[in-house]
Amino acid sequence: MKKGILALIITALVGGGMNFALADSGGYHGQHGKEGKHCNKHGKFRLENMREELGLSDEQVKQITSIREKYQPRMQELREKSKANRAQLREAKYADTVDMGIIKTLAKAQGDLKTQKIILKAEKRNEINGVLTKEQLSKLKEMKQKHRKHKDDEEHGKQS
């Protein structure tokens, strides 16, 4: 029992340290010198994977790229608003005098921004799906399920 608790505490400390290190370094995108800003490198990599795995034509790649470029400015705007709101929320939570009204307003605004991002991503995904054939959509669904299972397994400490 004591060993289990000790292992849990060590895991929590190590995991917390990793999160702190990533946050301090600008996160995942910080490794490309973007310091927390949107990074196009990963999107291009995914598109190349899609091209190979789904057998996308040059025209489909061009259409998908156009769709992504169309949505990018609005998504970037939502990211920036969300980041600014999180900073305000953090300040409000740690102020000398905590105003729960302000915290509730900022928390609701953060939720609204998250909702807008989810909707925007769904709209973009819907447009991209319109470019794909039925076979490609089916293959994409399989790929996403496999990716999700792999990610879930990693999160739960299972090996593939």
pTM above 0.85, yes or no: no
Phi and psi for 34 in degrees, rounded to 5? -95, -10
Taking only the tens of pLDDT, the chain with its 160 residues reads: 455 544 445 544 444 443 333 333 333 444 444 444 444 445 666 888 889 999 999 999 999 999 999 999 999 999 999 999 999 999 999 999 999 999 999 999 999 999 999 999 999 999 999 999 999 999 999 988 888 888 888 877 765 5
- Distance between alpha carbon 59 and the CA centroid of its chain, in Å? 27
Q: Quick one: CA dihedral 23, 26, 32, 38, positive or negative?
A: positive
